[in-house]
Structure 1
Amino acid sequence: MKIKAFATLVVLSSGLFAVTFASPAVAHAATSAHSMQKSVIILNGEVFSIQYKFVGASPATTYMPIYYVQQLINKVLGIDSSSDVWNGKEHTWSLTVSSATPSELSSGSGAKISVNGTVIEDAPTIVDVDPASGVQTTFMPIWYVQQLLNQILDLTSGTDVWNGGASTPTWTITTTATGSQETQSSMATAMWNVLDAASWDVNSHPSISDSGITPSSTVPATAGDVATWLEDWAANSKGYDAHPYNNDNDISYRPWSLQYEASQDAFTWANINGLFQGTSLSQSSSLVSSSNATTIISNLKWWVNGYKTLSNGWVELHIPFYSNYENWQNVASGAFTQSQYDQLMTDIDTYYDQLEIKPSGSELSVKLPDASSRNLVWQVVDGTYAWGYSHGTSGTGYHGGNTLSVTNKGPGISIRLASLNYEAQGTVIDYTNSSGELNFGKPYDTANLQFPNG
């Protein structure tokens, strides 16, 4: 019979912390070898759980059985049991935390603790009986892991306090938003105000709850929250009817999914698309300040609308917020690996979002960023002539780094960006012309079979 092990984690600040790994199938013991004392864990002003702790080893360190604290930490970090794994046979404990890049803290003998596949330290362990369960449990002193978690959670000494001298020792952790931080509910509401106003290529307008989101009015929002919420909204609202070339009767629906995007990690995907551009948010667990929230909302408008007008009169485009289902068929067919596809889409999204246009009467100035370092090539078609890359040419000289002057009349313009690294795959975005004005807010992604007659 297989024995399931439960890993638990606590951050006890300067009093040192402990992780416990309990196996319910292990034989019960009557008493504990160490002197146990009840302690209280408080989260955001409320008692989260009451657990036993002991002081042991030399030098003396505080240990604590903390299954419920593991659930707390997992919730705060936005991970689940699949990302928090104790392997009793190999004596390893592994955490997977999106975008976290902690540095090595120590090395030695004992159980290996790793984050995102990198061993951070080796920690000694002690087995004793948890009086609450009567089960032998493996305790692990982890003061250095406290430092690690404080980095990930962005906590300070004032928001992570261990009071071992109290009659009932207390560990207090505070993650509620301060005056400089956005709560989950305020951030989600601000996002939905933008998303509810979107009218182009939106099939429905799901509410926050319809999207499966239950934001807290006290817990601060993280960058990971913001990205995941946007993913949830898109999965419930985006998608299109594809009209294959020369056969408009063959219409099929193309759903939106993060699987078809530049990354399957929500934070990384949002970061590639500029959602956190101009903020201090460097990883999924970064807390969103009020000033960061304002910048995020501005970037979200840019993304959802497909463009923004700069103070100098130029219009900076954004890759359309569409399903890339058609492009992803290269992965489904085996032509590309997922990692190759992700790199292709990252390149395309990154450089297209630097594209700027300035209308001036009957002319357009089109500023093409230099994409030679990624071997990307441009093509611009204005209804009269085509400039740049086309199939059958090498693409040399069409990497950008220049400004074109094209006609602002006729049907509009088409802008293609393709990678010569991946069989000239890329995207073709069409902007229709109405009464002499290009409609930047209604772009058509013809590479993904979205056409003006669709």
Structure 2
Amino acid sequence: MKLKKLSYTLFALSSTVSLTMMLEPSSAMAASSLHKMQKSEIVLNGKVFSNQYKFVGGSPTTTYMPVYYVQHLINSALEITSTNDVWNGTTHTWSLTVTDKTPKIISKGNGAAITLNGTTIENAPIITDVDPSSGKETTFMPIWYVQQLLNQLLNLSSGTDKWNGGAATPTWTITTKATDNTESQSDMATQMWSVLNASSWDVNSHPSPSAVGVTPSSTDPVTAGDIATWLADWAAQAKGYNDHPYNDDSDVSYQPWSLKYEASQDAYTWAKINGLYQGTSVTNANSSITTSESAAVISNLKWWINGYKNLSGGWTQLHLPFYSNYENWQNVASGAFSQSQYDENMTDTTTYYDELEVKQSGSNVLVKLPNAQKSNVVWQVVDGTYTWGYSHGTSGAGFYGGDTLTVPTNGPGIGIRIASLNFDAQGAVIDYVGQEQNIDFSKPFSVENGQYPKSRE
């Protein structure tokens, strides 16, 4: 893209040390700005991303805009996180780490260094002024240099990265994908709650988005992190189970769902482990979800919430039930495992269980067990009278899977256990009730968490 040198736009980099904090103003206060401020607009993929102040000044005269408010724009456009986007206010160096990108030098000179994957690709002048939005002193940088950076990383052309300083509201427009191809927050929330409200198994209430603090925008694109956070907020109010001792209803206690008891305490990582983004191009929490990808996310959400999905040939792929894992987490509370060990165990348990496939075959059910040997994870399948696989308390490798078992369904149902030999055979015990030789895989019971099927009580 060719731009006239005197017409480039400037925007702010913060003077703080971290570019998560790169755009955060310093603590220094000023009575007023040194330049005349005017509102401007940033548009990303056809939607207003933010409205910020800009001013015209410097020598040669140029337009400035505070970068504190466009940090999320940069991270969203590049689909990177703040840990890969760091500003050092002492050395005046802006460092970006973007995988699979080879640095190409744009220009060298005086000013703050902009580095990509450790290589300085250009130097930019910096200026300090007060941002009216915060009332704090902030460091500014020419947007022209950032345009060159984005153009290199995203292969943008003059038609997809434009600054219109002569408009009534000066506007910077960036288009990284088809403008009608990004799902909005409100559309995604509507689709999600349609699934959540339709679910009844082990759902104790159906809170609305606003009831769990979700206020989706009708213009902002939805990200993978948004979806995961909303789901966790919903589950904290909607999910849980009545925990009571086997064959004893005298000591029933409700155990609500909490991210604290999951395979990760980070909502995005937890959702990724549970397969919510399978079939999408999502790489991190900041990844925007396209319209076509939203369909894949909703399909994965149904699989997770329902505990199963139908495959071709009569096979059904199971999912580790969406329960509160309070009882499992007591291993951390008691000091038996560290939180990181617990997370590793839960990650292995979830990952392998979600690869499990079953199929009704006459009076039997075929159970196709994934091979979990590389993680030292074993399986056990019980039909009420006979047990296949690992037996707790025995020595040896156990049954790692990689085979299809034929299990009779003439009993009360089947139980499937997955356990890690790295962590004292801890894992998951899931029961499915059988009726007239048919197993109901839509109602899984989390036995290790104290939730037993009524037929066994």
TM-score range normalised by the length of the shorter chain: 0.7 to 0.9
Which structure 2 residue ranges, 5 or more long, are not aligned?
1-6, 16-24
Which amino acid is the alignment partner of residue 373 of structure 2? S
Would you say the 8 A contact 1:260–1:323 is kept in 2?
Answer: yes
Q: Does 1:366 align with 2:367?
A: yes
Provide closer, same or farther for how the CA distance between residues 106 and 336 of structure 1 changes in structure 2, counting only shifts above 3 A.
farther
Residue 49 of structure 1: aligned partner: 52
Provide closer, same or farther for how the CA distance between residues 328 and 45 of structure 1 changes in structure 2, counting only shifts above 3 A.
closer
Which amino acid is the alignment partner of residue 48 of structure 1? N
> Counterparts of 1:412 and 1:357 in 2: how far apart (Å)?
13
- Per-residue deviation, 1:429: 0.3
Residue 415 of structure 1: aligned partner: 416
Provide closer, same or farther for how the CA distance between residues 147 and 281 of structure 1 changes in structure 2, counting only shifts above 3 A.
farther
- Which range moves more in the overlay, 381-390 or 246-255? 246-255
> Counterparts of 2:213 and 2:452 in 1: how far apart (Å)?
32
Residue 304 of structure 1: aligned partner: 305
- Per-residue deviation, 1:25: 3.7
Would you say the 8 A contact 2:29–2:135 is kept in 1?
Answer: no
Residue 4 of structure 1: aligned partner: none
> Counterparts of 2:52 and 2:268 in 1: how far apart (Å)?
31
Residue 216 of structure 2: aligned partner: 215
- Per-residue deviation, 1:410: 0.8
> Counterparts of 2:331 and 2:365 in 1: how far apart (Å)?
34
> Counterparts of 1:304 and 1:367 in 2: how far apart (Å)?
21
| Residues 357-387 of structure 1: per-residue CA shift (max 9 Å, x gap) | 1111211111111001111000011112111
| Residues 184-210 of structure 1: per-residue CA shift (max 9 Å, x gap) | 222211111111111100000111222
Would you say the 8 A contact 2:370–2:402 is kept in 1?
Answer: yes
Residue 330 of structure 2: aligned partner: 329
Query: What's the secondary structure of 2:260's corresponding residue?
Result: helix
> Counterparts of 2:313 and 2:55 in 1: how far apart (Å)?
63
> Counterparts of 2:66 and 2:400 in 1: how far apart (Å)?
59
> Counterparts of 1:414 and 1:436 in 2: how far apart (Å)?
14
TM-score (norm 2): 0.78
Would you say the 8 A contact 1:370–1:401 is kept in 2?
Answer: yes
Provide closer, same or farther for how the CA distance between residues 379 and 152 of structure 1 changes in structure 2, counting only shifts above 3 A.
farther
Which amino acid is the alignment partner of residue 387 of structure 2? A
Would you say the 8 A contact 1:20–1:64 is kept in 2?
Answer: no
Instruction: Summarize the alignment of residues 43-442 of structure 1 with structure 2, pairs less than 5 Å apart.
Output: 43=43, 44=47, 48-54=51-57, 63-69=64-70, 126-130=126-130, 137-141=138-142, 158=159, 160-163=161-164, 170-173=171-174, 178-245=179-246, 247-442=248-443
Would you say the 8 A contact 1:127–1:136 is kept in 2?
Answer: no
Provide closer, same or farther for how the CA distance between residues 389 and 414 of structure 1 changes in structure 2, counting only shifts above 3 A.
same
> Counterparts of 1:154 and 1:415 in 2: how far apart (Å)?
50
Would you say the 8 A contact 2:310–2:316 is kept in 1?
Answer: yes
Provide closer, same or farther for how the CA distance between residues 265 and 53 of structure 1 changes in structure 2, counting only shifts above 3 A.
farther
Provide closer, same or farther for how the CA distance between residues 147 and 370 of structure 1 changes in structure 2, counting only shifts above 3 A.
farther
- Per-residue deviation, 1:242: 0.8
Which amino acid is the alignment partner of residue 18 of structure 1? A
Residue 18 of structure 1: aligned partner: 12
Would you say the 8 A contact 1:177–1:220 is kept in 2?
Answer: no
Which amino acid is the alignment partner of residue 328 of structure 1? W
Provide closer, same or farther for how the CA distance between residues 230 and 145 of structure 1 changes in structure 2, counting only shifts above 3 A.
farther
Provide closer, same or farther for how the CA distance between residues 389 and 47 of structure 1 changes in structure 2, counting only shifts above 3 A.
closer
> Counterparts of 1:152 and 1:196 in 2: how far apart (Å)?
41
Count of aligned positions: 432
> Counterparts of 1:258 and 1:114 in 2: how far apart (Å)?
37
Residue 5 of structure 1: aligned partner: none
> Counterparts of 2:321 and 2:366 in 1: how far apart (Å)?
20
- Per-residue deviation, 1:441: 0.7
Which amino acid is the alignment partner of residue 434 of structure 1? Q
| Residues 246-300 of structure 1: per-residue CA shift (max 9 Å, x gap) | 6542222222111211122222211211111122222222222222122222211
How large is the Cα RMSD of the aligned pairs?
A: 4.4
- Per-residue deviation, 1:88: 5.1
Which amino acid is the alignment partner of residue 373 of structure 1? K
- Per-residue deviation, 1:432: 0.9
Which amino acid is the alignment partner of residue 53 of structure 2? I
TM-score (norm 1): 0.79
Identity over aligned pairs, percent: 59
Would you say the 8 A contact 1:272–1:349 is kept in 2?
Answer: yes
- Which range moves more in the overlay, 241-250 or 297-306? 241-250
Provide closer, same or farther for how the CA distance between residues 289 and 25 of structure 1 changes in structure 2, counting only shifts above 3 A.
closer
| Residues 287-335 of structure 1: per-residue CA shift (max 9 Å, x gap) | 2222212222221111111111211111111110111111122222222
Residue 20 of structure 2: aligned partner: none
Would you say the 8 A contact 1:357–1:366 is kept in 2?
Answer: yes
Which amino acid is the alignment partner of residue 179 of structure 1? D
Provide closer, same or farther for how the CA distance between residues 92 and 335 of structure 1 changes in structure 2, counting only shifts above 3 A.
farther
Which structure 1 residue ranges, 5 or more long, are not aligned?
1-12
Query: What's the secondary structure of 1:210's corresponding residue?
Result: helix
